[in-house]
Structure 1
Amino acid sequence: MNTHIAIFASGSGTNAENIIQYFSKSKSIEVSLVVSNRSDAYVLERARLLKVPELIITKKEFSESEYYVLTKLRDFHIDFIVLAGFLLQIPKYLIQAYPGAIINIHPALLPRFGGKGMYGDHVHKAVVEAGEKESGITIHYVNEHYDSGAIIHQEKCTVDPADTYEDVARKVHRLEYEFYPRIIEDIVSRL
């Protein structure tokens, strides 16, 4: 029996594409749905090209339409939710409906450089401005607060004194692409 994953993303979707490709030949894990809160998010185009159903759920629907959101996820038999650059806070009802089955990746070593508004280049700029000697990724469970769920896995990369935030972003993306699908696979295999 397959475990059905939904990927939630708000932007370009490079991590989503990487995850979809990683599981494309899996006999036990299937990316069954890509959800975005933005109709113009390029992740939706990536999903179409990779033949994965996509769904737009607006911020208002997430916050006010619990029945609609949960019904849509059940329609696709979703067992596990992966956040990959999803910028909305996950509502409490969704966390309760998927206990221990929603994870996120953050582009820094939490608890530093986390919280509302800390995503993408905002994080990398903050890391460089703070003079950090390392950055990395944190994969964690999702709870009702931004970036504060239990940490599952962290990977580090060095930040050299001459690095720009773009350099840090490239190093962090390499870690995301290498480790996020493998950690997802490990967690799902234990469900």
Structure 2
Amino acid sequence: MLNVVVLVSGGGTNLQALIDAVDSGSVANTKLAGVISNNRNAYALQRAADNGIPGICISPKDFATRDEFNVKFLDAVDTLSPDLIVLAGFLVVIPPAMIEKYRNRIINIHPSLIPSFCGTGYYGLKVHEAALKRGVKVAGATVHFVDEGTDTGPIILQKAVEVVQGDTPEVLQRRVMEQAEWKILPQAVGLIAAGRVEVEDGRVFIRE
């Protein structure tokens, strides 16, 4: 059984996609062990409560220093004994000690086809604003492992989404979520739960 902890800052639509996939059995051998948010008003915490999943808020704002937060944050994660940590719209920098401890056991969903429109400053609507400004014809989403860089870890899955003439950032964001994010994030968790994902030389290989 893959013990999964989800980290989220906002509404938790990707969390809901995971909850639905586990409940339906389309993602097997997986337990959502806990949800951690840096935002006590995040609707994701309500989604967790509604589905009987332990939820906790731990925010950098509640600590005198970032180092103090990092220690308490890692303690909170460790308490849930995760086999896999899923960043689903989590807007806090992951402490280096946590990346090292959970090497190739932290994944993130990013709303673009990496390496396009990723890295520092590219999150939320900003990604889609940049894509439309550049005039791309195809957008999409990427699930990748987390390393010390920003959106630089090994890519697990990607899915392309067509950009439609007249799209606004909000419309494109919704289409990317519905057609890509909510599909490939549960799929990636399912592949990891099935033991089919391997990382070699910075690249992901999915075993048949």
Tell whether the 8 Å contact from 1:89 to 1:144 is kept in structure 2 after alignment.
no
What is the alpha-carbon distance in structure 1 between the residues aligned to residue 192 and residue 2 of structure 2? 11
Structure 1 residue aligned with 2:59: 58
Task: Measure how far apart 1:59 and its partner are.
Answer: 2.4
Task: Measure how far apart 1:67 and its partner are.
Answer: 4.5
Q: Given the alignment of the two structures, is residue 6 of structure 1 paired with residue 11 of structure 2, yes or no?
A: no
Q: Given the alignment of the two structures, is residue 48 of structure 1 paired with residue 49 of structure 2, yes or no?
A: yes
Structure 1 residue aligned with 2:79: 75
What is the alpha-carbon distance in structure 1 between the residues aligned to residue 100 and residue 176 of structure 2? 31
The amino acid of 1:33's aligned partner reads G
State the SS of the aligned residue for 1:115.
coil
Structure 1 gaps, min length 5: none
Structure 2 residue aligned with 1:17: 16
Structure 2 residue aligned with 1:189: 194
Structure 2 gaps, min length 5: 198-208
State the SS of the aligned residue for 1:34.
strand
Task: Measure how far apart 1:64 and its partner are.
Answer: 2.5
Task: Measure how far apart 1:55 and its partner are.
Answer: 1.2
The amino acid of 1:130's aligned partner reads R
What is the alpha-carbon distance in structure 2 between the residues aligned to residue 57 and residue 96 of structure 1? 21
Identity of aligned residues (%): 36
Q: Given the alignment of the two structures, is residue 160 of structure 1 paired with residue 161 of structure 2, yes or no?
A: no
For normalisation by structure 1, the TM-score amounts to 0.91
Structure 2 residue aligned with 1:97: 101
Task: Measure how far apart 1:74 and its partner are.
Answer: 3.0
- Give the total of aligned pairs: 190
Tell whether the 8 Å contact from 1:136 to 1:155 is kept in structure 2 after alignment.
yes
For residues 92-131 of structure 1, give each alpha carbon's deviation from its aligned partner in whole angstroms, at most 9, with x where no partner exists: 1111111110000100111111112211111111111111
What is the alpha-carbon distance in structure 2 between the residues aligned to residue 146 and residue 113 of structure 1? 11
Deviates more, 1:91-100 or 1:17-26: 17-26
Task: Measure how far apart 1:160 and its partner are.
Answer: 2.2
What is the alpha-carbon distance in structure 2 between the residues aligned to residue 139 and residue 95 of structure 1? 16
Tell whether the 8 Å contact from 1:36 to 1:57 is kept in structure 2 after alignment.
yes
CA RMSD, Structure 1 to Structure 2 (Å):
1.8
Task: Measure how far apart 1:79 and its partner are.
Answer: 1.2
